[in-house]
């Protein structure tokens, strides 16, 4: 059985592609680097991260991109003996504009090096490339209308000005011919995330609608002609939980159709699993997969007969889900960052971390402040469970309070908690807490442990945090001396979520557990981390 979500934690906007018996899903990464996560499976049940293809500054440079900008809604396809990846780099979030630039990269293999990007257009985000049966290629994306009060946290339908279609020429690597607005969307509004496919003489168009919050949906339409007119599905929406607040998978929408080699049909979608009582999705938008069927009317439906997605659906050939280990232990041996980890924005990671100067350690070079949009030394992995424990050990000898290193539960500059080692003019070297519990737009920190606790002037310090649903408790200990000591009060972990702080539609990533350092004196003080553990509770 397939158990949803198949990709837990921050993995939104899933585009699925089959090549033979291999299945690939590409998901959005926003400001996290390298860009786009691609997972692989042969049974639709078990998935493995195999590539993040946007890894060079010529492909992606997000320094200065605001929170929740960067790589939106990639589309992965296979044609002409190679993979095609279409993606947006969004440069602005607030106000009336998005400045969304769309690109195409290609590779003969998923695991290999991907090409230099080809710029396509900037008329809107969520681009997709459709390879028609006659060999022609069509580029589609939503069109953004800036002439409305469509601010980031309160999207209005008029800004989502339909789905544009234009032919793309692989010889000239450019768009050609007329631009046509082929689909205005349903009355639900906020049409985006278009994907085209062809079957039995029909062009089928699936889009995301309703915004990416609790009214989200996959809307379906079809036409005999690629440029329309498109008629709506009898139910309007193929997948949605918007009218079923009790459903386990909420915020269901934005996905893509796929057929198996033996003719079975599935559809991906993003989803959220909110925690009571405030319905905050601390794991962000996750990826799920639903079994579908074609009916005699020529329309696609969920196999369960409703529009509400299931947690469990039939997989392929009796595949069994492999249980993941409860505890993941990461060493920093071998000179390579573990695959689960990413960093923020910069294509020059050598300026913020290295694994060679002190073998067996991840060395962070303190740069800009926590929450910087340009160059902050923060390395983290996704939170995949509502309850977990993370712990690490750091060697750090600050000589000013401007030098800080520690462990963080992080979403963005407005939503994070951290337990840190720093220097205090009276306490000397100390452990304390930095917290920003959703203070938008100012991003003011609070200090729940005040100045903190004095610790020895040298030696390694172990830091940990336990998150149980909406509650977070930090701990510390001097390595080899005594037991774990709690520090500070229980904090609101639920604010480190999509809905925390600014609220629904205000941010689009997910919670991370990681390590960081900064040095606002400009002297790039280093902090050495020996290991990092993550354990489901």
Phi-psi region of 363 (alpha: psi -120 to 50; beta: other; left: phi over 0): beta
Maximum Cα–Cα distance across the chain: 77
The active-site residue, picked from 375, 384, 391, 425, is 375
Q: How far apart are CA 130 and CA 121, in angstroms?
A: 16
Neighbours of 262 (CB within 10 A): 8
Q: What b/e readout covers 431-459, taking b as 16+ CB neighbours within 10 angstroms?
A: bbbbbbbbbbeebebeebbeebeebeeee
Please say whether the beta carbons of 367 and 352 come within 8 A.
yes
* 259 tagged catalytic: no
Q: Given the structure tokens 């193929």, which residue do they identify? A: 238
- From first CA to last CA, the distance across the chain in angstroms is 24
The two structure tokens encoding residue 331: 């060493």
Closest CA to 198 of 174, 226, 175: 226
Q: How far apart are CA 421 and CA 392, in angstroms?
A: 12
Q: How far apart are CA 530 and CA 459, in angstroms?
A: 13
Please say whether the beta carbons of 108 and 115 come within 8 A.
no
Q: How far apart are CA 405 and CA 422, in angstroms?
A: 7
Please say whether the beta carbons of 86 and 100 come within 8 A.
no
- Among all residues, which ones are annotated catalytic? 375
């Amino acid at each position: 059985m397939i158990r949803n979500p198949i990709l837990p934690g921050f993995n939104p906007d899933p585009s699925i592609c089959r090549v033979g018996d291999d299945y690939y899903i590409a998901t959005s990464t926003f400001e996290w680097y390298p860009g786009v996560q691609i997972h692989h499976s042969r049974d639709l049940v078990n998935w493995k991260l195999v590539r993040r293809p946007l890894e060079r500054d010529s492909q992606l440079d997000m320094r200065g991109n605001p929170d929740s900008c960067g790589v939106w809604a990639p589309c992965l396809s296979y044609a002409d003996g190679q993979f095609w990846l279409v993606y947006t780099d969004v440069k602005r979030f607030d106000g009336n504009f998005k400045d969304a630039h769309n690109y195409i990269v290609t590779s003969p293999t998923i695991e290999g090096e991907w090409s230099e990007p080809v710029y396509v257009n900037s008329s809107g985000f969520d681009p997709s490339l459709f390879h028609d049966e006659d060999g022609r290629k069509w580029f589609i994306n939503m069109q953004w209308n800036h002439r409305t009060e469509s601010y980031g946290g309160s999207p209005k339908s008029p800004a989502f000005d339909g789905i544009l279609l234009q032919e793309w020429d692989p010889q000239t690597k450019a768009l050609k011919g007329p631009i046509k607005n082929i689909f205005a969307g349903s009355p639900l509004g906020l049409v985006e995330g278009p994907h085209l496919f062809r079957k039995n003489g029909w062009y089928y168009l699936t889009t995301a609608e309703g915004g990416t919050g609790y009214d989200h949906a996959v809307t379906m339409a079809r036409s005999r002609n690629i440029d329309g007119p498109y008629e709506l599905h009898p139910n309007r929406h193929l997948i949605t939980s918007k009218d079923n607040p009790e459903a386990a998978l909420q915020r269901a929408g934005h996905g893509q159709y796929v057929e198996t080699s033996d003719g079975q049909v599935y559809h991906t979608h993003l989803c959220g699993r909110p925690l009571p009582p405030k319905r905050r999705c601390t794991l962000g938008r996750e990826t799920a997969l639903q079994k579908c069927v074609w009916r005699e009317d020529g329309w696609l439906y969920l196999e369960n007969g409703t529009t509400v997605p299931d947690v469990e659906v039939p997989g392929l050939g009796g595949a069994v889900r492999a249980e993941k280990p409860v505890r993941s232990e990461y060493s920093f041996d071998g000179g390579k960052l573990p695959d689960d980890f990413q960093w923020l924005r910069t294509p020059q990671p050598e300026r913020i971390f290295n694994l060679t100067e002190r073998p067996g350690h991840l060395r962070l070079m303190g740069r800009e402040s926590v929450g910087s949009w340009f160059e902050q030394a923060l390395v983290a992995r996704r939170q995949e469970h509502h309850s977990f424990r993370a712990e690490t050990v750091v060697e750090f000898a600050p000589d000013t309070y401007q030098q800080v290193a520690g462990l963080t539960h992080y979403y963005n500059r407005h939503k994070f908690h951290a337990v840190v080692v720093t220097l205090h003019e009276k306490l000397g070297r100390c452990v304390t807490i930095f917290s920003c519990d959703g203070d938008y737009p100012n991003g003011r920190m609070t200090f729940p442990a005040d100045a903190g606790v004095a610790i020895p002037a040298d030696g390694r310090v172990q830091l940990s945090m336990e998150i149980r649903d909406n509650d977070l408790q930090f701990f510390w200990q001097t390595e080899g001396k005594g037991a774990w000591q709690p520090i500070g009060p229980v904090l609101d972990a639920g604010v480190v979520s999509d809905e925390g702080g600014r609220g629904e539609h205000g941010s689009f990533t997910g919670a991370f557990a990681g390590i960081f350092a900064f040095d606002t004196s400009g002297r790039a003080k280093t902090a050495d981390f020996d290991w990092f553990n993550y354990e489901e509770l």
